[in-house]
Amino acid sequence: MYKWYLLQHKPNQQKIALENLIRQGFETFIPLIEKTKRINSSFKNSFSPLFPGYVFISFDINEYKWVKIKSTIGVLRIISFYNKPSEVPGDIIVGLKQKYSHYKNFLSLSDLKKGSTVKIIKGPFSGFVGEVEDYDEKSRLKILLKFMDNYMNVSISSKSTNLISK
């Protein structure tokens, strides 16, 4: 039975480790978080690992081939206790995939109503939480943000937000 485990890759060799593990037939997962950085006068979005240096991997511990992981180029070690890989509960992996997969579905207008609380995940207001005041058919939201004890209205794309509560 396939279960999830955690492995540590060598510094700056995440891509090499992933390529080699996938080539050997292992399923891997790296939770990615989107970060907005200001570069000169513009904002750039990029993805970076939630747990730098680590990769989740799925395999059957009863099969012999898991031993190949230790000698895979780019892999440092499997996180284990008493010489046995430590299992990561499936619920944790499911939760991480739902929250941090960079292929996730963004907020749709059918999920919203006036007064919904949303978190901005892209752009100059990244990280702010606000209340939806209005939205239009072009997927634009008008959000009321509290900023330094003042309220301000911003208009942003619904793809730049995550729903917190309805």
Q: Using one digit for the tens of pLDDT, what is the confidence trace for 2-43?
A: 899 999 999 999 999 999 998 888 889 998 887 777 788 887
Same fold, 2-100 and 109-165: no
Provide the strand spans (E) within 42-149: 42-49, 54-60, 75-78, 80-81, 84-85, 87-88, 117-120, 129-135, 140-147
In this structure, which CATH number among 2.60.40.1120, 3.40.630.10, 3.30.70.940, 3.40.50.150 belongs to the domain 2-100? Answer: 3.30.70.940
pLDDT at site 103: 47
What is the per-residue pLDDT for 100?
74
Max avg pLDDT among 43-57, 100-114, 149-163: 43-57
pLDDT value at residue 104 = 46
Q: Note the pLDDT of residue 52.
A: 94
> How far is residue 101's CA from residue 158's CA, in Å, rounded to a whole number?
18
> What integer pLDDT is reported at residue 105 of this predicted model?
42
Domain ranges of the chain: 2-100, 109-165
Overall CATH class of domain 109-165: mainly beta
pLDDT value at position 106?
47
Confidence of residue 61 (pLDDT cuts 50, 70, 90): confident
When pLDDT is averaged across residues 63-78 and rounded to a whole number, the result is 85
